[in-house]
Structure 1
Amino acid sequence: MSLLQLKLTPNAFTPLSSSSHKKFRPNTTLFARTKIRAVGTVPEKKDSETTTDSNDPPSIGFAFVSSVLLPDGTPDVHYRTACGGQKLRNIMLDSNIELYGPYGRILLNCGGGGTCATCMVEVLEGKELLSPCTDKEKEKLKRKPKNWRLACQTTVGEADSTGVVVIQQLPEWKGHEWKYEKDDDESAESL
C-alpha cells in the first residue's frame, strides 16, 4: 500500500453554498475531465476573501476522509464546519457525509443508541475537542484502536469551541494509508 498525504489549508473550512455543491451523477462524464480534485465540494476563495470577520460565530472545521480513493489515487476529502456541542453523528448526517456505508439501510443500525457500532470513525486529528469515551464506546470498541470512536456517542466541543477535527470515515473499509500534514501557511498563522 502506498502512503498518501493530505494537506489541510485554513481556507478549506468554509460553509458550502447550495449553488456550489454538486451531486454525483453516475451517468455523467466525470472521468473525461482532465483534472480531478480531491476537494471538489469546497469552492476555493480568492485572497481578498480570506480575511475572517471577527463577528463570525465560533465553529469547528471538519475534514472527513472517505475510505475510498478517487480515480487519480488521492483521498476523497470533504470539508465542513459546524458549531460545537453536537453529536458527531448528527453533524455527519446533516452534512451528507457517509456514515454507515454498507450498513446504511433501515434496521441495520441502532439509529444513534450506541448498541450496533456501525457508526465507527477514526479520529486522526482533534481528539482534544471530543468528549471522553462513554461506557458504551468502551464496551463496543474494546478490541479496536484507541482513536476509534462511535459517532453517535461522541460530542464535539462546546458551543464556543474552535479548532479542526480530521475524521476517517468507515475505518474498517479503508484500503489505503495516508498521513495528515498541516499546510505551511496554517502553521505560520497559528504562531
Structure 2
Amino acid sequence: MGVLQLNSPTIPSSIPITSSFNCNSKPLKLLPLPKQLSRRRLFAIATSTTSSGPEGSGVTAPEEPPSIDFAFVHPRLLPDGTPDVHYRSACGGQKLRDIMLDQNIDLYGPYDGPLLNCAGGGTCGSCMVEVVEGKELLSQKTDKEMELLKRKPKTWRLACQTMVGSKDSRGQIIIQQLPEWKVHEWEK
C-alpha cells in the first residue's frame, strides 16, 4: 500500500492507494514542465511505504516491472504556444489503441461516435497517429495499415493495428495524436 501526496490546499494531504492499481506499481516520476504549466496543473507524487530492509542486511529493493513511457502530443498548442503533452506509462504487449483509450487519451477526435469509427477493426482509418520517436518498440505494419496509409507519411500508423512491444519491453515513445489536425511541425 502506498500514499499519494498532493500539493493542493483544497485536497487532503495524503490519500491511500493500493499498489496494485495498475500493471506499473512503481512510484510516479515528476516530469519537467514549463514554468507556465506548473502554476495551472496539480502534481502528484506517489511514495512507497515499503522498505528494503535494514541497511547492510543485503536485502535489495524489488526491481521495477517493465513498462513503456509514452508522451502523447495533442495536435493543438496551449494558449502560451507550448505543446499540450500528456505523459503516461503502460505495460507492453498491448495494442496502442487500447493503451490510449485506457489512459483517457483522445484517439478519435471528431470521429468518437459509435457509428463514426470501426472500433478497432482496421477499416476506417480514424485512429491514425504519428510516431515521432520509438518506432523500434512497435510491431511491423499490417496489410490493412499498408492499404489505408499508402498515401500518408511513413511515420503514420493505425493505433488499432499497432502492437506495442512485449511484456518485458522498456523504452520511450512519442506519439502525435490526430496528425492531420496538428498545428506545429516536428524538427527532424
Contiguous gaps of at least 5 residues in structure 2: 8-34, 48-60
Equivalent position of 2:81 in the other structure: 73
2:132 is the alignment partner of 1:131: no
Equivalent position of 2:159 in the other structure: 151
State the Cα deviation string for residues 4-35 of structure 1 (Å, max 9, x = none). xxxxxxxxxxxxx6979xxxxxxxxxxxxx93
Equivalent position of 1:25 in the other structure: none
Which consecutive segments of 4 or more residues in structure 1 shift more than 6 A?
17-20
Query: How far apart, in 2, do the equivalents of 1:121 and 1:39 lie?
Result: 27
Equivalent position of 1:94 in the other structure: 102
Query: How far apart, in 2, do the equivalents of 1:39 and 1:83 lie?
Result: 29
Q: Conserved in 2, the CA contact under 8 Å of 1:100 and 1:118?
A: yes
Higher RCO structure (Cα 8 Å, ≥6 apart): 1
Instruction: Give the number of the structure whose residues are more often helix, by fraction.
Output: 1
CA RMSD after TM alignment:
2.7
2:39 is the alignment partner of 1:35: no
With the length of structure 1 as denominator, give the TM-score of the two structures.
Answer: 0.69
Alignment of 1:44-63 (within 5 A): 54-63=62-71
Q: 1:113 aligned to 118, 121, 125, which one?
A: 121
How many pairs align? Answer: 145
With the length of structure 2 as denominator, give the TM-score of the two structures.
Answer: 0.70
Query: How far apart, in 1, do the equivalents of 2:122 and 2:39 lie?
Result: 31
2:91 is the alignment partner of 1:64: no
Letter in 2 for 1:36: L
CA separation of 1:45/1:72 partners in 2, compared to 1, >3 Å: closer, same or farther? farther
Shift of 1:36: 3.0
Query: How far apart, in 2, do the equivalents of 1:169 and 1:41 lie?
Result: 23
Equivalent position of 2:149 in the other structure: 141
Query: How far apart, in 1, do the equivalents of 2:152 and 2:76 lie?
Result: 20
Contiguous gaps of at least 5 residues in structure 1: 1-16, 21-33, 47-52, 181-191
Q: Conserved in 1, the CA contact under 8 Å of 2:95 and 2:159?
A: yes
